[in-house]
Chain A
Amino acid sequence: MQLWLDAVFVLIMLTNLSLLAASRMRLIIRAAAIQGVLLGLLPLLFSLEGSLAANLGFSAFVLGIKGLGFPWLLTRTCRRVRITPEIEPYIGYNFSVILGIVGLLVSLWLEHRLDLPVRVSGLSVSAAFMTIFSGFLLVVSRKKAVTQVIGYLAAENGIFLFGLSLAPHGPMWLELCVLLDIFVAVFVMGIAIHNIGREFDSVDIGAVDSLKD
């Protein structure tokens, strides 16, 4: 079981790197979807207390929203607003990946430093921190609104993973509430971006700078 868990955490770290390295909308949405699927598998692998049916339901819920729902919404938004497929980063892809690795190192140090009470697997907490870092890095280093939503999603994935590995069974309902919030957020953002796209020529965040003075 430990081996499978480790494999999932390493894969989550790799999806973080591929989120940072993706140069196309399609690729970054796919990476986010894969991360969602991996997160959906975790409740099953953690072998939570409680009935199998509850775990299965939780897993299916996470998988459905993070692995299918969000990617579908994002793809739909991209198609409707006719967003150009390039990501347009402020920071180059290679440098982003290197920053992601630095994020992992910081996460490993943080995990070591915090000395958290519950350890499901040695890698879970650092994978969580790394996911949060990658998400925030995506938010600040990419031009388009949709990529910022994806960054926000990744950060939430990290928080989810952190909560899951610290207290596997306690705050499940809290997590579900957060998940619902995010769901609404992505939904609203999808509509907002759609409307912005209809009203203005582009959804480029950089254009907001011209409003400054």
Chain B
Amino acid sequence: MRALSAVNLLLALGLSPLLLGIINRTKAVISGRSGRPLLQVYFDLAKLLGKGAVYSRTTTWVFKAGPIVGLAAVLAALAVLPLGGVPALVAFPGDVFVLVAFLGLARFALICGALDTGSSFEGMGASREAAFSALAEPALLLALLVFVSRTGTYSLSRMYVWPGAGDWLASGPVLILVVIALFILLLSENSRIPVDDPNTHLELTMIHEVMVLDHGGPDLAFILYAAALKLWLFSALVVGAAVPTGLGSPLLDELAMLAGMGMCAVAVGLVESTMARLRLPRVPQLLTAAGAFAALALAILGR
């Protein structure tokens, strides 16, 4: 079991940039382009790591610390993330809050780095990121509380054993609500389309991309890699709720999970190809909807 947990962590480290590749490829296929290579993010990372970094004289150590702390925090959050019914490398009661706290720390580091540049543009992006994530975080906790209420444990590894095939047959309609809530949070927290467009630069509506404008070289590589890992993390939360585990052998579970992750990336690509970005005042409504879905599920299942 320990070996499998380690394998899961290595899979996350190795395959997470591929998820971004799958999203981009889905979007390309739907819009009739051949698109960039599936492994483009790996190439980008290699290229960025080979470069040097340029720092503005107005920045301090906070700016340099941002990407490193961000990546470290996401890596730490990955350590408590279970996948496919296999417990995480580190599992203890209460690690669900540790996961959310580490995600918050990563965001805090990035926001501080953005504010440290003294650019009003980046400050604006930082303010939006802070405002939206302040709404997303309670919704995420609500969605995870559904698992807590069903399993009676605060450890992610033991929580995510829960929605088995039998549970889907018994309370499927309510479980769908949880999956939808988590998926909306995935889109929001990873700055995907209805909330933020990862492809736009120099546009006044962007959120996440605006904060990383002044980062370059290895720093940008860290940010990019941390973003990919965060996408993997949220996909695992969605897939863990959507795909029942306990199919028989651990290998089968693992394969189902990986297929689920691929499907999740394709779903994100489909959403991005079919939807336009929401106006900024509408984003809080979307996040409220995610929270409402989670609260509905919690109220019904926690009776």
Bound Cα distance A166, B292 (Å): 27
Tell me what chain B mostly uses at the interface: helix, strand, loop, or mixed.
helix
Q: Within the assembled complex, what's the spacing in Å between the Cα atoms of A105 and B173?
A: 18
Q: Is the CB of B289 within 8 A of A21?
A: yes
Over the window 267-301 of chain B, the binary record of Cβ atoms lying under 8 Å from chain A Cβ atoms (1 yes, 0 no) is 00000000000000000110011001001100110
CA of A123 to CA of B177, assembled, Å: 15
Q: Is the CB of A10 within 8 A of B296?
A: yes
Asked if A7 is an interface residue, CB under 8 A from chain B, the answer is yes
Chain A residues lying within 8 Å of B296, measured Cβ to Cβ, are 10, 13-14, 17, 101, 104
Which of A25-33, A36-44, A91-99, A173-181 contacts its partner?
A91-99
Q: How many A-B residue pairs have CB under 8 A?
A: 49
Q: Return the chain B residue nearest A7 by Cβ.
A: B173
Write the B162-185 contact mask toward A (1 if CB under 8 angstroms, else 0). Answer: 000000011111100100000000
CA distance A94 to B171 in the complex (A): 27
B303 at the interface (CB under 8 A from A): yes
Q: Are A3 and B169 touching (Cβ within 8 A)?
A: yes
Could you tell me if A17 and B292 are in contact, using CB atoms closer than 8 angstroms? yes
Interface residue? A189 (CB, 8 A) = no
User: When the two chains form their complex, are residues B299 and A105 in contact, meaning their CB atoms are under 8 A apart?
Assistant: yes
Chain B contacts for A112, CB-based, 8 A: 303
| Cβ A101 vs Cβ B292 within 8 A | yes
Question: Which listed residue, A7, A98, A100, touches B172 by the CB 8 Å rule?
Answer: A7
Knowing A105-B299, A108-B303, A122-B303 touch, does A100 contact B169 (C-beta < 8 A)?
no
Query: Given contacts A3-B172, A6-B171, is CB(A97)–CB(B289) below 8 Å?
Result: yes
> How distant is the Cα of A10 from the Cα of B169 in the complex, in angstroms?
15
Number of B interface residues at 8 Å Cβ cutoff, please give it: 17
Decide: B292 and A6 in contact? CB cutoff 8 A: no
The docked-state distance in angstroms from the alpha carbon of A112 to that of B174 is: 19
- Chain A residues 60 to 111 lying within 8 A of chain B, measured CB to CB, are 93-94, 97-98, 100-101, 104-105, 108
SS of A interface (majority): helix
Q: By CB atoms of chain A within 10 A, which of B169, B177, B292 has the most?
A: B292
Query: A7 — which chain B residues lie within 8 A by C-beta?
Result: 172-173
Who on chain B is nearest to A10 by CB?
B173
Closest B residue by C-beta to A11: B173
Q: Are A98 and B288 in contact (CB under 8 A)?
A: yes
The chain A residue sitting closest to B293, CB to CB, is: A14
Measured between beta carbons, the chain B residues less than 8 angstroms from A17 are 289, 292, 296
For residue B122, give the distance in angstroms from its CB to the closest CB of chain A. 28
When the two chains form their complex, are residues A6 and B299 in contact, meaning their CB atoms are under 8 A apart?
Answer: no
A101 touches B303 (CB 8 A): no
CA distance A112 to B300 in the complex (A): 12
Nearest-neighbour CB distance to chain A for B136, whole angstroms, equals 14
Instruction: Report the separation of the CA atoms of residues A105 and B295 in the bound assembly, to the nearest whole angstrom.
Output: 9
CA distance in complex: A6, B176 (Å)? 12
Binding site for B on A (CB under 8 A): 3, 6-7, 9-11, 13-14, 17, 21, 93-94, 97-98, 100-101, 104-105, 108, 112, 122-123
